[in-house]
Structure 1
């Protein structure tokens, strides 16, 4: 290759790249505001529990087993993996668009003309039937002058990254769902145990009231009130058992298992993770898979807009075909070679508004994707703020709730003793204190559940569970 040819080739390549840059644009990360997303959390420390492996956050061995089973078998997660395969195939297809197509064709054609239609003079006798034997290869290649194929490939790659991020988002949500459902199951077990203990205590109260009635300490109203109080506790048992059964079934669905019992520990053995480091809100862009997926979706839409712009400019296409063609099969390989080579520019002039509509649609979809990205980021900040405050309020309630339960326990004991030995009280006082105690005990279980689930929700909101 001589120097003059090389110089000309470099000039042509530079011109093509310059023209392409004028049509398509280079992607840049969208500018979004990440300050104050956490509300009242202005830390500059980048340490965050999102970087913790889930095994370090959830130390219950039974819960760890359930989470691992979910990661192995969950059907939503498997569907997300299949979507990645689809995106990989699309990316491979977009890469292949840079290569020329190649087709093979073998045909035999039998044709017969009408003698009357040819209008030959009388006496002329010509064979009106012919056979043509043909074998050919054809190829076509489009030069990526304006960057259409490159932008399409980058769009496919962004879509692949989006499906991978979406899969990780499914994983973080799955871990959170399993943990939250597990803790909810333990809370129901605890509420059932408290209620059963209450029933046992109230059964003894009924016997006591009957003995006091026999001793003329109370009247018949106190006896029936004690019985009604017992029944009020007993009637909640079927609903608690139903909730436990439904929660077990829901947890099995997450594990892709048929309904069945769940091996578990108890609520009293659980302790909420306390070192709740959130990092800075800008880290959500790297840690939250759904935020990443939203940005990749915007990136794909951006490249689709680039593709739409290229349709306004001429396309350079080279086509070639060649092969063998003969009227006689015996002469098929003798002097029957043919070929043709065509290079052409196709400039759209009037396409019934298709190119303009394509560009307008792509630009609108790009803007929609940007708004979705912004919304996802704002939602993630809201979830972090809510989880932090839920943990804070649950912690604040712990001490007060413990004092409430202790006071109500004493109130029940005192009113029961007064009822036995003094006429200064009646069973209504006992009834009120017992009902208040049960409500406080059940609320205490809800408080601890709120605290445990707040940690789970914060971990997911920060983007933990996929690293």
Structure 2
């Protein structure tokens, strides 16, 4: 008898030891190159990172902050993401219970009337039976399969939480993009309004010169065409304003409407370009954290698939009361009890288990590649934004000088035309160049603001 006990204990200890060897724990194998992931000339400081600034401090425009708050409350993508998190929470709660036994109770009553013409005639008479029972079933986690299943549920919850953060961060950026684009269109509309007034006056001067025989009818028609051209551009800008207002309203979960905004680019984003060190991306960027949680999920799926090759052990216990008479239902003689131990070893399963294992391994590799890709892409986004911000200032300054030069050219050519020292083509060319340069200057200024927001997003800012 003792030898049997020792044998059982030895088997159990061996199974537990094998379980420890079978299921592996996840360890991050991807290393972040802090020296080369960012293509930045300046030294990086691990203690400074403006991607950690909360969005309410990053943006200064009070109207914009109201729109962001409204978007975070009403945007449908954010609300859907929140529900996905709730779904993952429920599944995680269930996943934590996989190691516990399942318990079910049953109560039944039955009445059987036997036929007198049957094999036994009326020997047994009519039978009334009452049953009440409790069944308990528990699966031993010998190979770590249930632990891996619980980890999958936990990773799903963490991953959905990071997806929600990523959606929030992108929403904040998209609202800011749309808002500043509206301000940019407003500035272009102001430029075109002034241009139309100036070109109307210029047309009147050209018509007077034509009447005096100083210019030809071609000059009049060219001036007239320029006026119509500026009106067409104005309609295009007004169309873009309404489209952008509709898009911004949609981001806030509302139908299209006229939206209030500031008249200037009030946010100067005069932060020092402290981008931190690349490894901080693993903690700050929700899309990277989400990718790693997906990798861990796939890793645990491999553990589950591997455990499926080995036998499962299930223990079932049942007990209850059974009697044909209610008066004797609770007597000791009505008690029944059973215990069942069952080990199931897959032998032939149409290659399903092996296929699932091979697929899980490939899925893990895909998740690893995706994790690495997200890190590399984040480094590229940060590098590009820093480079553009550092160079955009020179572009804006030169664009401003170009506008000043064309503005002088328009003034000089108009004066020379009045005195007959310049032809109308010089005036027309100068006016057209000035308009294009002024419109481009607005876009250059908008590009700088947009790039600051992109860098903030690339560093993981916007979700807090």
Q: Same fold (TM over 0.5)?
A: yes
Query: How does 1:7-46 map onto structure 2 within 5 Å?
Result: 15-35=14-34, 36-41=36-41, 43-46=43-46
- The one-character-per-residue Cα deviations of 1:110-129 (angstroms, maximum 9, x if unpaired) are 446666763x5xxx642465
Aligned partners of 1:445 and 1:321: how far apart in 2?
79
Q: Matches of residues 12-411 of structure 1 in structure 2 within 5 Å?
A: 15-35=14-34, 36-41=36-41, 43-46=43-46, 47-111=48-112, 118=119, 125-127=122-124, 129-334=126-331, 335-411=333-409
Aligned partner of 2:3 in structure 1 is none
Note closer, same or farther for the CA distance 1:9–1:245 as it changes in structure 2 (3 Å cut). farther
Q: Give the drift of 1:43.
A: 2.8
Cα distance between partner residues in 2 of 1:225 and 1:77: 53
Instruction: State the Cα deviation string for residues 126-171 of structure 1 (Å, max 9, x = none).
Output: 2465333222111101111111111111121111111111111111
CA contact (8 A) 1:43 1:279 kept: no
Counterpart for residue 4 of structure 1: none
Deviation of 1:13 after TM superposition, in Å, equals 7.7
Q: Is the 1:111–1:130 contact (alpha carbons within 8 Å) kept by the matching residues of 2? A: yes
Helix, strand or coil at the partner of 1:131:
strand
Which consecutive residues of structure 1, in runs of 5 or more, have no partner in the other structure?
1-6
CA deviations on 1:54-106 (whole Å, 9 max, x unpaired) are 22221111112111222222221121111111111111111111111111112
Does the 8 A contact of 1:325 with 1:338 survive in 2?
yes
Stretch moving more, 192-201 or 77-86: 77-86
**Does the Cα contact within 8 Å between 1:57 and 1:273 map onto a contact in 2?**
no
Superposed CA offset, 1:161-189 (max 9, x none): 11111111111111111111111111011
Instruction: Tell me if the contact between 2:30 and 2:372 (Cα under 8 Å) persists in the aligned partners.
Output: no
Q: Return the alpha-carbon distance in structure 1 between the equivalents of residues 11 and 171 of structure 2.
A: 54
Give the 3-state SS of the residue equivalent to 2:96 in structure 1: helix
Query: Is the 1:248–1:259 contact (alpha carbons within 8 Å) kept by the matching residues of 2?
Result: yes
Q: Distance in 2 between matches of 1:368 and 1:311?
A: 22
CA separation in 2, counterparts of 1:269 and 1:72?
25
Is this contact kept in 1: 2:284–2:460, CA < 8 A? yes
CA distance in 2 between partners of 1:65 and 1:186 (Å): 16
Paired residue secondary structure (1:460): helix
Q: Residues 263 and 352 from structure 1, CA distance in 2 versus in 1: closer, same or farther, beyond 3 angstroms?
A: same
- Find the aligned partners of 1:272 and 1:210 in 2 and give their Cα distance: 48
Greater Cα shift, 156-165 or 211-220: 211-220
* Residues 169 and 231 (structure 1), Cα distance of their counterparts in 2 relative to 1, 3 Å cut: same
Q: Are the counterparts in 2 of residues 183 and 267 from structure 1 also a CA contact under 8 Å?
A: no
What runs of 5+ residues in structure 2 fail to find an aligned partner?
Answer: 1-5
User: Could you list the per-position Cα deviations for residues 26-62 of structure 1 after superposition, in whole angstroms to 9, with x for gaps in the alignment?
Assistant: 1101323434222244634122111112222211111
Superposition CA RMSD, Å: 2.2
Cα-to-partner distance string for 1:433-459 (whole Å, 9 max, x where unaligned): 100000000000000000000000000
1:116 & 1:10 partners in 2: Cα distance?
57
SS in 1 for 2:310: coil
| Cα pair distance change 1:270/1:96, threshold 3 Å | closer
Change (3 A) 1:42 1:312: farther
